[in-house]
Structure 1
Amino acid sequence: MKSAPRAARLTARGAATRARILEAAANLMHIKGINATTLDDVRAASGTSKSQLYQHFADKDALVCAVAGLWAQRVLDREQQHLERLSSFSGLQRWRNVLVQLNGAQNGAHGCALGSMANEIADHDEEARAILAATFASWQKLIADGLRRMQDNGTLKPDADPDQIATGLMAALQGGYLLAQTTRDVKPMEVALDMALSNIKSQLVG
């Protein structure tokens, strides 16, 4: 069973312990990978005992699902800040610059937290996979909605397909993350995004 005790049943101290475990696991799994991160690693990083960890998470699968949910929320919160009011090509360029800058701070070493998790769990953890799939869909919808606003204000051609463009842009972004992570160089990510944006630019009005 993957579900942890409901938050409503936790004391303030228990909630703080759970949050500490979850934060440590999220950081370790992002840097080391899910498979390489053990529960002993998480206990050591969070300063908790085995009984404390199992009080909040039945097993590693339960912890992985919680981490997927945490990263999903963080990514969507960040993306909403940049995409919720997107209505211009310059807005897309600013969004691209922010992502490249963030990833470049680590020379692309850790990639996209969601994409990295998906690569490791998609084939054997259906619950976590579903969380990530829903998050990618929400992320892609933020992009598509911004493109529709560009159509509404006459910036993007009426016959352009916002959903299709958003799919291509998301694919370029995730592919760029992967190449940057592999080469430890953010340049491939820049190239992938710039090519996708160039395609969008060709569909602008005027």
Structure 2
Amino acid sequence: MDDSSPTSAVARLTPRGAKTRSRIVETAAELIRVRGVGGTTLDDVVSASKVSKSQLYRHFEDKPSLVRAVIEHVGDRKISGERERLENVRTFAGLRRWRDAIVETNALQDGRYGCSLGSLANEVADHDWIARLKLQELFTAWEQLFMDLIERFQQDGLVPASADVRQLATGFVAAVQGGYVLAQTSRDVAPMESAIDMAIAHLQLLAMADERALEGLKA
């Protein structure tokens, strides 16, 4: 691994330094969640995290480097949470329970802040290519979770073996992201429910079409 990489730099920190860096990133992530990247300054982060400017600059040379660390922090937490929710889903009933869980969580603040990853992508993808590549990596990891789920459905005979797994997984990520945006703008999670329901219904229709095709072959 390149010793100049952020991961290597973090690994070289003392326990105290690592704790300070973590506090800065977590504070910045919360400020950015509420105010956005453009509405959050380094002075805001210094004040809210109760560190000095010299401490902040010891860990981050500028705002883009801090934002990249926030993306990694938020993204890893998001993917970890989605993995935990999705990894044991093997039925359509389980898939609907997953849908209920993320909608209910988003409803706690009336969809106010949208998806943490989607919001970051909207703000930085066109201005920071390093951040964009990290976001692409995270969305690919999220898509992979849906690919794994759909492959399990195929193994259990719930989805036709001929189904395009990657296309379906991309559709699920798009439905979730679109749902977050619609809920955020309307302050109502009903559009999010509808968007995800459409993705689930499509999977069920594929299963039904496959069953009809098999019945036709037997007739």
Bucket of the pairwise TM-score, normalised by the shorter protein: over 0.9
Query: What TM-score, normalized to structure 1?
Result: 0.95
1:149 and 2:152 correspond: yes
Query: Counterpart amino acid of 1:160?
Result: A
Q: Which moved more, 1:113-122 or 1:141-150?
A: 141-150
Alignment partner, residue 139 of structure 1: 142
Aligned to 2:89: 86
Give the AA of the match of 2:146. I
Give the Å deviation of 1:156: 1.0
- Looking at structure 2, the residues matched to 2 and 21 of structure 1 have their Cα atoms a distance apart, in angstroms, of 19
SS in 2 for 1:58: coil
The alignment partner of 1:202 has SS state of helix
2:61 to 42, 58, 61: 58
Which amino acid in the other structure matches residue 44 of structure 1? Answer: S
Please identify runs of 4+ aligned residues in structure 1 that moved more than 6 A. none
8 Å Cα contact 1:111-1:178 kept in structure 2: yes
Equivalent residue number for residue 26 of structure 1: 29
| Unpaired runs of at least 5, structure 1 | none
CA RMSD after TM alignment: 1.7
Post-superposition CA distance 1:50-84 (Å, at most 9, x none):
11110111100000000000011001110111222
CA drift at 1:6: 1.2
Q: Is the 8 A contact 1:179 1:188 kept in 2?
A: yes
**CA offsets 1:114-154 (integer angstroms, 9 cap, x no match):** 00000001111111111111111111111111111111111
Measure, in 1, the Cα distance between the counterparts of 2:183 and 2:12.
43
Using the TM superposition, give the Cα deviation of residue 5 of structure 1 relative to its aligned residue in structure 2, in angstroms. 7.7
Aligned pair 1:71/2:74, yes or no? yes
Query: What secondary structure sits across from 1:132 in the alignment?
Result: helix
* Structure 2 residue aligned with 1:101: 104
Q: Which residue does 2:215 correspond to in 1? A: none
Of all paired residues, the percent bearing the same amino acid is 49
- Work out which structure has the larger RCO, using CA pairs closer than 8 Å and 6 or more positions apart in sequence: 1
- C-alpha contact 1:3 1:58 (8 A) present in aligned 2: no
Conserved 8 A contact 1:104-1:185: yes
Match of 1:122 among 118, 121, 125: 125
Q: Gaps (5+ residues) in structure 2? A: 212-219
Give the TM-score taking structure 2 as reference length.
Answer: 0.89
**1:91 Cα offset (Å):** 2.1
Tell me the distance in 1 between the aligned counterparts of 2:7 and 2:75. 18
Distance 1:2 1:40 in 2: 25
**Cα distance in 1 for residues equivalent to 2:161 and 2:10:** 47
Secondary structure of 2:206's partner? coil
For the pair 1:200 / 2:166, whether they are aligned, the reply is: no
Give the distance between the partners of 2:7 and 2:40, measured in 1 at CA: 19
Q: Is the 8 A contact 1:121 1:128 kept in 2?
A: yes
With over 3 angstroms needed to count, the CA separation of the structure-2 counterparts of 1:4 and 1:193, relative to structure 1, is closer
Secondary structure of 2:114 counterpart: coil
Offset at 1:8? 3.1
After alignment, is 170-179 or 9-18 more displaced?
9-18
Aligned residues: 206
Quick one: distance in 1 between partners of 2:8 and 2:161? 50
How far does residue 185 in structure 1 lie from its aligned partner after superposition?
1.1
2:157 partner amino acid: G
Indicate the residue corresponding to 1:182 in structure 2. 185
